[in-house]
Structure 1
């Protein structure tokens, strides 16, 4: 197919420019919140040992793309799963296929960008902790290192060797001895685990802490008390209105009077943001096709030199 760009994992990752990714993801979040992004409900085909999901989306000014992602149990890591796939980017004006990208780095880095936006919009100053040592935690630490290399980041987890390796990705990274001790002193906690039961507990969190939870695809990362006491934020209404895996485990069955504010509304100035001393805030990410569109746009534009040409 003439003109189709095909990028493997290394080339896709190399084209994920952090600053441009942050800008594009913010635009996508705002488009989700104001209803201008188009993304149908997720669908999946079930196989004996996993599933193949499809996530198409369109974001005005960013493009048209679809992600195909397989989620299968990882025999080498009991209790964890692999997420592998591709993203196909199309011309939004005439439908021409433009690029095929590796979905794994795109998913990890666009998720890290969303989590970082939540902290920038909602967290106060103070220590930053990343909980986890897997692919998503590594992407989160890598993005923070690219954006603010001088600001210390503490990494905590249950695997000491993994904690040290993940902390080493940041020039000011610190390896913590345990999750609870690290979280108790944090202003911002990025929770990036494959947990099936809570790894973060309400009594560990100081007044005013911001929690950005992006893991927990197979169960809750946060306990019910944390969710009960926090102001809640998400990428899209379905995070609380649809069941897992499209919705968040932590946001199921909320009382009728609980509000989940869209992060894009905060970024657009249509909903209150900013840090309130003493107020606990939780951003719960479940992912959204618009975010894949945003990241694919950045990868394609970077790889083809569009940004250098001012496009």
Structure 2
């Protein structure tokens, strides 16, 4: 394996061009919705302080990869979690290991890509976006928006007002507010937190708002009223029928027929909507790791 490419965190992050990752993740989501992806259900080994998940997947035209990722509390930031691990990319034709990449930036960027793509469930661009959170995932989300939608105003909010101001300063068109005020001002809300209980309330959401929830690995990020009233979208059907951590806490017990796969919208197999509350609940999927790993390996 002398030709095995090993990318550390900084090199992996630098190789993840936002627009190329966005395009590759869209391909993976469409393939996933059409049944073209091979990926077993995600599994996890539970440790007292966290978990280690395994996510192998094959996406035609993108490649074959597997991620090992740990989800543990961040000792430097109580209440937040870190996603650490590695992604191994293999040649889809002969099985040769091609690259090992740092999973932390890769996971953050591919998740931000899927969340950004979820805006397309609506037939119109948002007028103002709220990003809730100030950690790694919120940082990746703001960077993705700055790269692909820089003209849309953004309001950043979090428990730490100073961190929110620092994060907002990285975007060309961002301000800060309280969480409630940020949500009330926006017609698209990106929830990127490590919450164990809801951080967004149904009563705060504007009519026809879109909510993208990518956090909540340890509990509910959205309240039950929001889930009750919304049109629901996910990367894969297992988000509703699989128990956490593979599935989403908010979607447990929901009729699976309520879930529209995001790839169905991106592929033109399901119509967009206007003036309805919509929620994209992300749990992540190995197909998205394949997409991002393929981009990073191609350079």
Q: What does residue 80 of structure 2 align with?
A: 80
Q: Distance in 1 between matches of 2:252 and 2:103?
A: 28
Give the drift of 1:75: 2.6
Equivalence map 1:117-132=2 (5 Å): 117-122=117-122, 124=124, 125-132=126-133
Distance 2:108 2:285 in 1: 12
Matched, 1:297 2:290: no
1:167 aligns with 2:165: no
Q: Secondary structure at the match of 1:28?
A: helix
1:10: which partner in 2?
Answer: 10
Give 1:153 shift: 1.2
Matched, 1:267 2:242: no
Q: Contact 1:85–1:103 at 8 Å: present in 2 too?
A: yes
| Alpha-carbon offset, residue 182 of structure 1 | 1.3
1:231 equivalent in structure 2: 231
Equivalent residues of 2:43, 2:246 under 8 A apart: no
Displacement of 1:251:
0.5
1:131-170 CA-to-partner distances (Å, cap 9, x unmatched) read: 1101000000001111122322110111101101111121
Matched, 1:282 2:283: no
Q: What does residue range 10-159 of structure 1 map to in structure 2 within 5 Å?
A: 10-122=10-122, 124=124, 125-159=126-160
Match of 2:202 in 1: 202
Question: For 1:36, what is the secondary structure of its paired residue?
Answer: coil
Residue pair 1:65, 1:292 contacting (<8 A) in 2 also? yes
Tell me if structure 2 keeps the 8 A contact 1:123–1:187: no
C-alpha distance in 1 between matches for 2:244 and 2:44? 13
Structure 1, unmatched stretches of 5+, are 303-311
Query: What is the correspondence of 1:231-250 to structure 2 with a 5 Å cutoff?
Result: 231-250=231-250
The answer to whether the 8 Å contact 1:40/1:57 transfers is yes
> Could you give the per-residue CA deviations for residues 55-85 of structure 1, whole angstroms, max 9, x where no partner exists?
1000000000000111222333223222110
Determine the C-alpha separation between the residues in 1 that align with 2:247 and 2:79.
20
CA contact (8 A) 1:234 1:283 kept: yes
The SS at the match of 1:218 is coil
Instruction: Provide the C-alpha distance between the structure 1 equivalents of 2:40 and 2:106, rounded to a whole number of angstroms.
Output: 20
Give the deviation of 1:123 after TM superposition: 6.3
CA distance in 2, matches of 1:63, 1:214: 24
CA distance in 1, matches of 2:87, 2:151: 33
User: Residues 195 and 216 of structure 2 are in contact (CA less than 8 Å); yes or no, is this contact kept in structure 1?
Assistant: yes
TM-score, scaled to structure 1: 0.93
SS for the counterpart of 2:225 is: helix
- In structure 2, the residue corresponding to 1:171 is in which secondary structure? coil
Task: Say if 2:120 and 2:265, in contact at 8 Å, map to a contact too.
Answer: no
Deviation at 1:121, TM superposition (A): 3.1
**Distance change (3 Å), C-alpha of 1:89 and 1:276:** same
List per-residue Cα deviations over 1:38-68 (Å, max 9, x = no partner): 1101122333432221110000000000001
* Structure 2: runs of 5+ lacking an equivalent: none
What residue number does 1:220 align with?
Answer: 220
Normalised to the residue count of structure 2, the TM-score between the two structures is 0.96
For 1:50 and 1:219, the matched residues in 2 are separated by 13
